[in-house]
A = this chain, B = another copy of it.
Amino acid sequence: MQTVTLYLDYLCPFAWRGLELIHVVAPQLGLELELRHYSLEQGNHPENQGLLQSAPVWKLAEQPLEGPKSLRAFLASHAARQQGKAAHLRFALELFRLRHQDRRPLGDDQTFVEAVARAGLDLERFMADLEDEENRRLELARDLEQAGELGVFGTPTFVLPSGDAAYFRFSELTTEPELAVPLWELFTAVLHNGAHIETIKRPRK
């Protein structure tokens, strides 16, 4: 089975749409999905300006829990990952929907508990894994390092089975398979075209 890796940040509504897209497309095209994390707060932090994404000085995984808005969501995501890839994907989808559809606060325990319930995860195990903060921080640090090595600068960024990778931003949620599959195929056609397309980007006024 071929694997698509998706870098996401729960803060980002475009990452939410990207995850909904690949969630619909993956079973249709026989793709396995691997979720990884990239942090917009780290990538855009003033102390990291002008530095390579692979060499930040301000690191999210080392910050206090009360600080950055995204840290607890990333740690919760890693806690969910302990219950397997499929559970992790369901949790990520539900956490994104709670944040970007239902406008719930991202870092609250109550939001996590609801995502766990909707996704059908084991709550007791989830809470124990979330409390094992040191290991969750180590896992997050590894994810963010890998994103940095790849040069990820925004979410969603997809890495295709071919190794081609790109940030993919679209504003209309697309979850009907008859629209989602062609949208995904358009994206992959851009990345696989022989002209080596590097960027397509609309101007913003």
Contacts and interface: CB of A to CB of B under 8 A. Distances in A.
Nearest to A173: B195
Q: How many copies does the complex hold?
A: 2
A102 interface: no
B167 A199 contact: yes
Contacts of A204: 151
B200 A171 contact: no
Interface stretch (A78-86, A111-119, A179-187): A179-187
A108 interface: no
A200 B187 contact: yes
Contacts of A170: 193, 195-198
Contacts of A189: 186
Given A190-B186, A190-B190, A198 B201 contact: yes
A60 interface: no
Contact of A153 (B166, B190, B203): B203
A195 B22 CA distance: 14
A194 B178 CA distance: 12
Nearest to A168: B200
A189 B188 CA distance: 13
A82 to B, nearest CB: 28
Contacts of A54: 205
A199 B187 CA distance: 10
A172 B152 CA distance: 23
B199 A202 contact: yes
A149 interface: yes
Given A150-B203, A168-B199, 17 more contacts: A54-B205, A149-B205, A150-B205, A151-B205, A153-B203, A165-B202, A166-B201, A166-B203, A167-B199, A170-B195, A172-B196, A183-B193, A186-B190, A198-B202, A199-B199, A199-B200, A199-B202
27 contacts: A53-B203, A54-B205, A149-B205, A150-B205, A153-B203, A157-B203, A165-B203, A167-B199, A167-B201, A168-B197, A169-B200, A170-B195, A170-B198, A171-B195, A172-B196, A179-B194, A182-B193, A186-B186, A186-B189, A186-B193, A187-B197, A187-B200, A190-B200, A191-B202, A197-B200, A198-B202, A199-B199
